[in-house]
Amino acid sequence: MHHYDFTLIHINATDEEAHQLNYMGKKQAIEFIDKEIIGTVLQELEKSYKDNYRIIVCGDHETRSTDGKHGFAPVPYALYGKDVKENNHSNTWNEKICNNYPAQASLSFLQSKIKP
């Protein structure tokens, strides 16, 4: 990662569990990814880059566990790292905003969270 400005890690486990209508498997996959992958990546970023990094954790699309199909619901995400403003007002960013302004809201919101 020392040679690149951007790294993408794509994990398909939650999508596959949802396609199988296995909501408990999807939940367990999320928990595993959070602890074993994201946790490990964050530890390494802190060790190697101190405060000089940003990370965004998100899905690429919704997959419903009820019918196994892809949907168009807004995808939640977490943004953390250098120059990211803390958001103690989570009620100002919600699914309704995403539904009303999907692409613009996401991009504007992310830009507003990174200090100039």
Q: How far apart are CA 39 and CA 57, in angstroms?
A: 11
pLDDT digits (tens, 9 = 90+) for 35-46: 999 999 999 999
53 located within any domain:
yes
Q: Determine contact, residues 91/84, Cβ cutoff 8 Å.
A: no
106 located within any domain:
no
Q: How far apart are CA 86 and CA 114, in angstroms?
A: 10
72 located within any domain:
yes
17 located within any domain:
yes
Is residue 67 pLDDT above 90, yes or no? yes
Give pairs for 16-20: CB < 8 Å, separation 24+.
Answer: 17/65, 18/63, 18/64, 18/65, 18/68, 19/63, 19/68, 20/68
Read off the pLDDT band of 91 (50, 70, 90). Answer: very low
30 located within any domain:
yes
Domain enclosing residue 34, as ranges: 13-82
User: What's the pTM value of the predicted model, to 2 decimals?
Assistant: 0.69
Q: Which residue has the tokens 């965004």?
A: 56
